Structure 1
């Protein structure tokens, strides 16, 4: 579809030709001027049959968008896995308030506890509600293929770090996508019930991505490879090496 922005010439069957003065694509309403410089008319793109000047219909998606982008991200990661970018991982978790969900796509080595130090791309459901894009030059409602191409254009060096094989994780991720998409997402948040200790290997939390969907009632989702023992392990950063030479050290390259 053509770009829709202030200044676009449109045609309305009752008002004739006009010019758009403002657009709100979150609600599907526009304001347009028809012959009068002082007066604008509010039109709904879903019901008012607005057309471009050449007669092409302007169609607005009537179905409400997903309230969180995680299912779209899961489809994106699966497509990249199938293309050979298997060292790409999706981590999602709730904000402390519980009102929104964050996500992190990271590349390279599969070390879940050092995930926050890995290079990748972050996002938040709070931002997505206002501007439903991932943040790498994509457009609202972009398809999986369009998201892949947008990410490749936006950060080809970063995406190149995901090239490689991780067959265990790729198989796990494909099975999760088969079970959850398109209506549900997973969270890798390790919850403490009632402030108690962490449960060892509880089911992976599953959340619907649309408010109209019922709670997930399918089979339990297993945790991804590499999570075994993370509930009981003591998580501490390794102590820095002692340098007795006085010369700067070149850090070792690790996955």
Structure 2
């Protein structure tokens, strides 16, 4: 399916030619302006017979786009690793429903919990169209090379911090790409089982990036290098101080 994003020219038989102003790839709804209409019209890509400007129908239900960009980000990171930018890491925590997901690229020291934040290097479901680089608003159908050039042009200093060797993480990431792409994505979200605590080194959760894909049935993936011990222990509030004098405390 061709790219569907703000700025895409469409045709609808009842309204004619129009331009998309907003798109929600999770639900299949778009807003578009037609002719002299002052207000945008909401259309459903599955049943409102929306077409591209050249007449190609938009079959959202039959050929849905990725509901989350994580697989495309994995391809970007792998290509940069192969080019020598091995100190580049992808922290992601999508939910299996696809309605809530986050991603974060960071560079420099491999510190998953104290990672650096740079504008344009992170996003979420709410920012699918608004992120200045990786939100796909300006380049929704871009190739891996085009996305790399967009990131390098936006923040060359940040990308330069990824130069260097991190061989164990690069090997782990390449293995994950071989097992998962193009239809699946890993999640670094460690959820507690119902009524229990964190499990020592459970399998990495795998999430499909497109609707209609069967649950992942391949080999388990271990956690990235540097994650050992991050899920051990219980996270509880500290116990209140003991008052051994028997005097009431002022609150």
Query: Displacement of 1:138 after TM fit?
Result: 4.4
Alignment correspondent of 2:213: 213
Question: 1:71-108, CA deviations, whole angstroms, 9 ceiling, x for partnerless residues?
Answer: 1111111111111111000011147x983111110110
Q: Distance in 1 between matches of 2:110 and 2:6?
A: 42
1:22 to 19, 22, 43: 19
2:92/2:103 contact within 8 Å kept: yes
Counterparts of 2:99 and 2:49 in 1: how far apart (Å)?
A: 32
Q: 1:79 to 1:211 in 2, by over 3 A?
A: same
CA distance change for structure 1 residues 50 and 156 in 2, over 3 Å: closer, same or farther? closer
2: distance between equivalents of 1:233 and 1:122? 28
* C-alpha distance in 1 between matches for 2:123 and 2:6: 26
Which residues of 2 match residues 1-255 of structure 1 at below 5 A?
5=7, 20-23=17-20, 26=23, 33=35, 57=54, 62=59, 63-94=63-94, 99-115=99-115, 118-120=116-118, 121-128=121-128, 134-135=134-135, 138-232=138-232
In the alignment of these two chains, the number of paired residues is 216
How far did residue 141 of structure 1 move?
A: 2.2
Q: Distance in 1 between matches of 2:44 and 2:123?
A: 30
Change (3 A) 1:71 1:196: same
Q: Deviations over 1:100-154 (max 9, x none)?
A: 1111101101112213xx13411002332x6697248741122111110100001
* Alignment CA distance shift 1:170-1:29 (3 Å): same
1:190/1:23 CA distance change after superposition, 3 Å: closer
- Provide the alpha-carbon RMSD of the alignment: 4.1
CA positional deviation for 1:213? 0.3
Higher Cα radius of gyration: 1
- Bigger helix fraction: 1
Instruction: Give the TM-score normalised by structure 1.
Output: 0.68
Gaps of 5+ in 1: 52-56, 236-255
Any stretches of 5+ residues in structure 2 without a counterpart?
A: 24-28, 236-251
Task: Output the TM-score relative to the length of structure 2.
Answer: 0.69
- Determine the C-alpha separation between the residues in 1 that align with 2:79 and 2:231: 30
Q: What do the CA deviations read for 1:200-251 (whole angstroms, capped 9, x no partner)?
A: 110000011112101111110111111112222689xxxxxxxxxxxxxxxx
